[in-house]
């Protein structure tokens, strides 16, 4: 049952209001004829009151002062002020200052008073329900945040496990192909540096790193005599070699944690002009992560030793890349990022290590 507090120094007024409210609304009513006695009584500390009706002119303190003290003790209470005509201006000013819900002029209209009290109680209930719901929402949000943190830790741990697995896959290729020793790690380091310059986000950089490490995983299906042939491959041998991107993608696709790297593995030999393999993709069909890994892979192949030749000088390797960019095979912007790495010494750091 809702509780209403009525304060007026005139006993007849508190008695009349109490009888009216209890008869019309069936609320519990507490009355007081002395503001000072009310403050000292402990009622405000021991009772939860939904609505208070206070007279304006009373001994010891006026209604605004009393309501201000009551609001300090019970912030959720709905305050209503009874005023005479001469007090009307002060009551209006207090609406904003005190958060006054309503003011009623003496003599009041019973129907109006009952309606105001009824609406005030409804307001109190709605505010209470809203605060309760907000508390529940806050608790749920805290729980969601806690679960998110747990999932985030599990995800990070899973990613670390995936990276270890990817490195193991890469080691399989390196064990079979003498040329690929440290190739994948260099390509990954170079691709990450290029990706940062290209403005890739954290997830894209992670895909670039994983994709670069496993881009040649399909070579586990390529015969060793082709992988380690000391001279140039024949047409037939090169056709066999060209199967490694699809073989690699087929290995990667069933692994959910690596699904975002499958395009890199499948398309790292594609060219922007459609002259690459295995599907002759072109332009926007090749995402930026794949373009970056492609250029990192080609640069490392040109710049480092291979079974049938020693690595090219830096100037010659860059000349070939620029020519391919000019002819529309490679992304020109990424070549510019690579040139910037040369100027800053970052490329030398990767290959020195």
Q: Is residue 103 within 8 Å of residue 95, measured between CB atoms?
A: yes
The pLDDT of residue 340 is 95
- Please name every residue paired with 4 in a beta bridge, in sequence order, or none if there are none: 29, 51
Residue ending a domain, choose from 136, 168, 192: 136
Map tokens 């020519």 to a residue.
323
Separation of first and last alpha carbons in the chain: 78
Give 309's strand partners.
Answer: 306
Say yes or no: 116 and 244 in one domain: no
Pair (131, 196) in one structural domain: no
Residue 145 covered by a domain: no
Quick one: 242 and 113 in the same domain? no
State the pLDDT at residue 178: 57
Distances (CA, A) of 140 to 128, 137, 193: 18, 5, 41
Q: Of 3, 88, 125, 219, which one is the catalytic site residue?
A: 219
pTM of the model: 0.57
Q: What are the tokens at 341?
A: 């790495």
Whether 306 is in a domain gets the answer yes
Residues 97/109, Cβ–Cβ less than 8 Å? no
Q: What is the CATH number of the domain that holds 322?
A: 1.10.3210.10
Q: Which residues contact 70 (CB under 8 A, 6 or more apart)?
A: 5, 44, 52, 54, 77, 79
Specify whether 118 is located in the same domain as 267.
Answer: no
In this structure, the answer to whether residues 218 and 281 fall within a common structural domain is yes
Q: Let me know if 219 is a catalytic residue.
A: yes
Q: Which domain holds residue 281?
A: 177-352
7, 112: one domain: yes
Which residues lie closer than 8 Å to 250 by C-beta, 6 or more apart? 218
CB atoms within 10 A of CB 73: 12
Give the residues of the chain that fall short of pLDDT 50: none
- CB contact at 8 A, 79 and 99: yes
- Give per-residue pLDDT as tens, 304-319: 887 667 889 999 999 9
Residues 217 and 89 in one domain: no
- DSSP per-residue letters across 197-216: HTT--HHHHHHHHHHHHHTT
Domain count for the chain: 2
Nearest to 62 by CA among 128, 1, 7: 7
pLDDT digits (tens, 9 = 90+) for 257-288: 788 899 999 999 999 999 999 999 999 999 99
């Amino acid at each position: 049952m809702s509780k209403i507090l009525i304060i007026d120094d005139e006993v007849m007024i508190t008695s009349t209001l109490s009888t009216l409210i209890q008869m019309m609304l069936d609320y519990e009513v507490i009355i007081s004829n002395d503001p000072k006695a009310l403050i000292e009584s402990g009622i405000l500390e021991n009772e939860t009151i939904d609505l208070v009706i206070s007279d304006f002119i009373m001994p010891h303190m006026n209604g605004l002062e009393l309501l201000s003290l009551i609001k300090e003790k019970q912030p959720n209470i709905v305050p209503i002020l009874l005023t005479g005509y001469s007090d009307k201006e002060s009551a209006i000013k207090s609406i904003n200052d005190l958060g006054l819900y309503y003011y009623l002029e003496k003599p009041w209209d019973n129907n109006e008073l009952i309606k105001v009290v009824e609406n005030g109680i409804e307001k109190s209930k709605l505010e209470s329900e809203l605060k309760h719901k907000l508390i529940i929402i806050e608790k749920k949000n805290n729980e969601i945040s806690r679960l998110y943190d747990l999932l985030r830790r599990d995800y990070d741990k899973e990613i670390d496990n995936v990276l270890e697995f990817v490195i193991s896959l890469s080691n399989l290729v390196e064990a079979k192909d003498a040329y690929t020793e440290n190739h994948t790690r260099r390509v990954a380091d170079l691709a990450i540096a290029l990706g940062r310059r290209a403005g890739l986000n954290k997830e894209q950089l992670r895909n670039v790193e994983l994709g670069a490490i496993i881009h040649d995983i399909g070579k586990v299906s390529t015969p060793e005599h082709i992988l380690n042939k000391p001279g140039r491959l024949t047409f037939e041998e090169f056709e066999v070699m060209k199967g490694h991107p699809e073989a690699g993608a087929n290995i990667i696709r069933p692994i959910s944690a690596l699904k975002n790297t499958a395009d890199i593995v499948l398309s790292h030999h594609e060219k922007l002009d459609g002259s690459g393999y295995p599907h002759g993709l072109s332009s926007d069909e090749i995402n930026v992560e794949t373009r970056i890994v492609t250029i990192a892979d080609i640069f490392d192949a040109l710049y480092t030793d291979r079974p049938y030749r020693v690595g090219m000088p830096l100037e010659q390797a860059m000349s070939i890349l620029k020519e391919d960019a000019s002819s529309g095979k490679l992304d020109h912007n990424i070549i510019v990022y690579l040139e910037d790495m040369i100027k800053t010494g970052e490329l030398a750091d990767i290959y020195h290590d």
